[in-house]
Amino acid sequence: MNYKEKYDIFICGGSRHFPQLQALLPQLYPYGRLHLGSSILSGAEVMELSGHFDHLHTPRYDPDGYANFKLFCTREINRLARATYFIKVDADVSLSEDWIEYVDRIVRERANAVLFGPKEGVARINVERTGSLVRKKLGQEIRVKDGRKAVGGFYVGETAFFQQHDQFMQNVYDLLYSNPQQSSEDTLRSLVVHAAGAGDRLLIRDSRGMIVIPPCTGNRHSMAGAK
């Protein structure tokens, strides 16, 4: 199997995540085209990680490193992905040696899935935006009630779907969540799925311990209750 054509893998981290990146990158590298987002890693740390990633990206959207990470996931993943699916991983996630079997299994069993992951957000997505300004900006109104969210620590997206809806995703972000300090990229991505009428293709599937996401991952800033 040519994993480099099947999966693009995106991971970001700073100096405080360096030990985790040292462990994770060799686990990820064999199973896709690996993109490392480095907004707050030192040059020496990047050099030490070299050989375990395919592409290095240095987003500079915001002076705050964490905001850069979120904006990289929002602004760049859809554009950079070339494989059939992309995988987004946080640096504090733990993976078993056979973690890729989880991804392959879901892709095989639910080929129509556009977004899936092993953990669901605690808060559901409830967003309603109507009116002429919304229709002009987005081309439609948004009414999402009780929508499920794939937590951002680890999720898999269908590249073609998110490239098709990338401009919509960027417009939603600009209209609703323009402050990167208060935004949540995984909520935005899940919201786009629901708003596009594909909520039944967003799946939460237990990884059976293959992928462990810390409790706080993806919940630092929640947009789920935005009105």
Q: What is the mean pLDDT of the chain?
A: 91
Check residues 215 and 181 and name the one with the higher pLDDT.
215
Q: With respect to residue 26, please indicate whether it lies within any of the assigned structural domains.
A: yes
How does residue 219 score in pLDDT terms, banded at 50, 70 and 90? very low
Q: With respect to residue 182, please indicate whether it lies within any of the assigned structural domains.
A: yes
Range of the domain at 99: 3-212
Which range has the worst mean pLDDT, 14-23, 53-62, 139-148, 176-185?
176-185
Calculate the CA 176 to chain-centre distance: 18
Q: With respect to residue 200, please indicate whether it lies within any of the assigned structural domains.
A: yes
Compute the C-alpha angle 99/88/184, nearest 5°.
135
How does residue 216 score in pLDDT terms, banded at 50, 70 and 90? low
Q: With respect to residue 220, please indicate whether it lies within any of the assigned structural domains.
A: no
Query: Any idea what the CATH number is for the domain that residue 46 is in?
Result: 3.90.550.10
pTM: 0.92
Q: With respect to residue 142, please indicate whether it lies within any of the assigned structural domains.
A: yes
Q: With respect to residue 186, please indicate whether it lies within any of the assigned structural domains.
A: yes
Q: With respect to residue 225, please indicate whether it lies within any of the assigned structural domains.
A: no
Q: With respect to residue 191, please indicate whether it lies within any of the assigned structural domains.
A: yes
Question: Rounded distance, CA 73 to CA 99, Å?
Answer: 22
pLDDT single digits (tens) 164-192: 999 999 999 999 887 776 778 999 999 99
3-state secondary structure the chain: CCHHHHEEEEEEEEHHHHHHHHHHHHHHHHHCEEEEEEEECCHHHHHHHCCCCCEEECCCCCCCHHHHHHHHHHHCHHHHCCCCEEEEEECCCEECCCHHHHHHHHHHHCCCCCEEECCECCCCEEEEECCHHHHHHHCCCEEEEEECCECCCEEEEEHHHHHHCHHHHHHHHHHHCCCCCCCCHHHHHHHHHHHCCCHHHEEECCCCCCEECCCCCCCCCCCCCCC
Question: Rounded distance, CA 46 to CA 193, Å?
Answer: 34
- pLDDT (0 to 100) of residue 177: 84
Count how many domains the chain has: 1
- pLDDT (0 to 100) of residue 226: 32
